[in-house]
Structure 1
């Protein structure tokens, strides 16, 4: 049985993925959450009761906890075959209204945490010349929009880490790839997140930020109500990627039921083609 470590498994895509993989009875699943005590008894009991699922606490922003959990998994199962970097946090607000400390805090969860997990699992994956890392990015890793510049920047950074390292790692038998969801009705947007923390700066914009936020929230709500995007589509994409043969998995895997799959795929393919064209221009 392959061993899978899923971060952020207490809600959203991570929880759905844990449930669906458990039903297949083909994996040892380590479902990690920041704090088991914060899950609520019902969710904790549900996840802990799933077949082949071990519930574990993991603060992905902690070097010590990441090293500890990966060492324990390797000791118990001898391998970590698949890592799903799903844990993340949303943000919002004017760029100027974010303190540098707040930006660093958001990047610690959305950028340094997946990198931290990659670095923790890669030595064992390289040794066995086998491994799959799936990173949950976003369509906002392609486009940056007002009031979300800091969050988008974190996803841009994740995209850069993964796309730049793909050719390095595939030669070591490891696939490091992306899944880029559009807007889906998950708990991500309902949580407090890591948002602009300088209210005096926001006030200096004389209500503009509030007006833009209200307009954007209404627009996204209407789009979700109209298109009814299903989070199971994202989980289905992840499972499809897990099932594919090594070397056949696309690097970028957008899933956007609001913009449309044809559009989302074109964005990913066009970016890849432009990157190849630039590399060719420099003689690579």
Structure 2
């Protein structure tokens, strides 16, 4: 079955590769990015050459999100699948991030998700079927030093996806989360850093550790042949191509040693979730309506 797919964050590695692979699989794809000009012009042209339609979307702006979703529905004569992939990272001493710093990231990673969901869900509910795929992270499951503010945004995304999964199951809308490990992409170099540099000096030598740790980690994942963004795109294509109602809720994509631990954690959480839902008499919300 060929799908009509909206992909946010199409200028990044995961988004652009997913757009290309989905289009190569015969799916109709609209990729979105903040602008198709300037620094994004080259990737925009490459996507268009692969048959991907493009639309501009700023996920921090509700009017932009609503307008783009409407345009995508018009371009494809509908939407049945959304790959909610736009995101931004942050690396640094947690105390030195101002609330404005963290809010800037949450505007994309959390509030941007909510804007997109509110824009697209009326259409999906009306047609009685749809698929939502969210890009989270392995560190949306476990927190590591210096990346805690980013992890917080992905923890929040995981919670939103959990809630939507239950509340939308009766409308025939399935939910999936993709949890990549760290991959050597431009994402690593575009992270927000703390703006309170004065407070940073109070941390002494530790102030240099976030950058040192990140550079070391990038070198490590670059040394792993399989740890490439194409693997994440392949996982997304695999989910899209999996029959409706048979998709796993969470898919971990990692070859650096995180996969088994995160999958074990997810398995325990899944059983705990079932038990809590059952105890509260709402376990039916974990069953997707396939009619």
Q: Same fold (TM over 0.5)?
A: yes
Please give the per-residue CA displacement for 1:117-148, whole angstroms capped at 9, x wherever unaligned: 11111011001111111000000110111111
Bigger shift: residues 63-72 or 77-86: 77-86
Offset of residue 213 of structure 1: 3.8
CA contact (8 A) 1:132 1:176 kept: yes
C-alpha change, 1:179 and 1:226, in structure 2 (3 Å) is closer
| Residue segments in structure 1 that go unaligned for 5+ positions in a row | none
State how 1:195-274 maps to structure 2 within 5 Å: 195-226=193-224, 228-274=226-272
Task: Identify if the C-alpha distance between structure 1 residues 113 and 206 changes in structure 2 by more than 3 Å, giving closer, same or farther.
Answer: same
Tell me how many residue pairs correspond in the alignment: 281
CA distance in 1 between counterparts of 2:234 and 2:261 reads 19
Q: Distance in 1 between matches of 2:126 and 2:39?
A: 36
TM-score relative to the length of structure 1: 0.92
Is 1:255–1:264's contact at 8 Å kept on the other side of the alignment? no
Alignment of 1:1-284 (within 5 A): 2-24=3-25, 26-51=26-51, 53-191=52-190, 193-226=191-224, 228-280=226-278
Deviations 1:137-180 (A, max 9, x none): 00011011111111000000000000122121111010122100
Relative to the length of structure 2, the TM-score reads 0.90
1:158 & 1:44 partners in 2: Cα distance? Answer: 27
Distance across 1 between alignment mates of 2:74 and 2:150: 36
CA distance, structure 1, for counterparts of residue 139 and residue 186 of structure 2: 17
Superposed structure 1 runs of 4+ greater than 6 Å apart: none
Q: Distance in 2 between the 1:236 and 1:2 partners?
A: 16
Q: Which consecutive unaligned segments of at least 5 residues does structure 2 have?
A: 283-291
